[in-house]
Amino acid sequence: CNKFVTLSNDEKMPIIGIGTWQASDEEIETAIDSALEAGYRHIDTAPVYGNEQAIGRVLKRWLDAGKIKREELYIVTKLPPISNRPHEVEPTIKKSLADLQLDYVDMYLIHTPFTICINPDGSFKMDEEGLMEVDKSTNLAATWLEMEKLVAQGLTKSIGVSNFSKEQVERLLKNCKIPPANNQVEHHVYLQQRDLIDFCQANNVVVTAYSPLGSKGIAKFNAQAGLKRDLPDLMDIPEVKDIAVAHGKTPAQVLIRWIIDTGVVAIPKSTNAARLKQNLDVFDFQLSADEVAKLCALDKNIRICDFAFFHGVERHPEFTFKNQYTN
């Protein structure tokens, strides 16, 4: 299995990165330090995660000390859902770059196909039903045009999207000068999205899998939004555990290897040094065809990160996720 994937613009992206959602500043500084020590070079962040400044501090320390060169790093960040408008693209990436203390990022993604409305004081706008309001005038092609300019300006090497459906990717492909190089979506054994992934790969759009281990931390957000859900534990699936035992590996390592074997990039999140190391240590074993078939047969179309905590977004015409759960 290759340690890098090649994007449509010939840039190389490490096939495993560290996901950084749901971690405090202290946790993230230690985690990024441990991740760099363990050999991670690909870091996935976003303004929404609130940790770009903390990540920037660690990167600066490593770069200033000469422990790493900028070109060895692969940094991904995103245009947040509240800024998904053409005129906000350039100032928003510049804010991220300032926070990350970098001159450029390697990949800039439109975080979501929908736009969340905010009040002048920065709070979320609620509609008459008390649901989060979304801006229905969002025009993805117009935002994309501004994303393309960032490449010419040298603010990012590559541009892409996140949480886009096949139809949304297709629409951009037909209306662009620079095709999206990446679509970052939820992907794991319980939400395989074969159709979307096949379409992206057939069109040279590299797919990145978020929540590759089932994102247990999302329970916290659901609880905050008053949603009661039993999230599945992917690392406790008997088939996954059996395959792990057979190879002397952990269930997490099996879940990651299954993803990257298909050329999909995986960004498991961990703030624990031992688990970070473990999640990168997946290149010394091979899943048999029979094991891959068993894992592929697990698909249940269960979306863990279904954005239900963003009440109201499912009513946006651009929003194509189907909630797997009801309140």
In order of 19, 68, 140, 209, the CA distances from 28 in angstroms are: 10, 18, 32, 20
Could you say whether residue 81 binds ligand A2P (CB under 6 A)? no
Q: Contacts with ligand A2P: how many residues (CB under 6 A)?
A: 19
> CA–CA separation, 285 vs 282, rounded Å?
7
> CA–CA separation, 86 vs 93, rounded Å?
12
In angstroms, give the least distance from the CB of 187 to ligand A2P: 10
> Within 13-32, which residues bind ligand A2P (CB under 6 A)?
19
**Choice between 77 and 211, CB closer to ligand A2P:** 211
Residues in the chain: 327
> CA–CA separation, 78 vs 203, rounded Å?
22
Could you say whether residue 247 binds ligand A2P (CB under 6 A)? no
In angstroms, give the least distance from the CB of 235 to ligand A2P: 6
**Binding residue (CB under 6 A) for ligand A2P from 74, 215, 265, 321:** 215
User: Of these residues, 49, 74, 108, 210, which one is catalytic?
Assistant: 49
What letter does residue 65 receive in the DSSP assignment?
T
In order of 136, 246, 318, the CA distances from 165 in angstroms are: 17, 36, 9
Q: Please give the sequence-ordered ranges of beta strands (E in DSSP) within the chain, or none if there are none.
A: 4-6, 12-14, 18-19, 42-44, 74-79, 105-110, 156-162, 182-186, 206-210, 265-266
Could you say whether residue 269 binds ligand A2P (CB under 6 A)? yes
What letter does residue 147 receive in the DSSP assignment?
H
> CA–CA separation, 275 vs 290, rounded Å?
27
**Binding residue (CB under 6 A) for ligand A2P from 63, 145, 227, 235:** 235
Coil, helix or strand at residue 106: strand
In angstroms, give the least distance from the CB of 53 to ligand A2P: 20
> Within 154-213, which residues bind ligand A2P (CB under 6 A)?
211-213
50: exposed, middle or buried (Cβ count in 10 Å: 0-12, 13-18, 19+): middle
In angstroms, give the least distance from the CB of 265 to ligand A2P: 13
| Active-site residue flag, 49 | yes
Binding mask 271-290 for ligand A2P (x = CB under 6 A): xx--x--xx-----------
Please tell me whether 247 is known to bind a ligand.
no
Q: Which of 123-131, 170-178, 200-208, 269-277 is the region at the interface with ligand A2P (rule: CB under 6 A)?
A: 269-277
Q: Which residues are annotated as a binding site for substrate?
A: 111
Kindly list the catalytic residues.
Answer: 49
Interacting residues with ligand A2P (CB under 6 A): 19, 211-217, 235, 250, 252, 268-272, 275, 278-279
Q: Which residues are annotated as a binding site?
A: 111
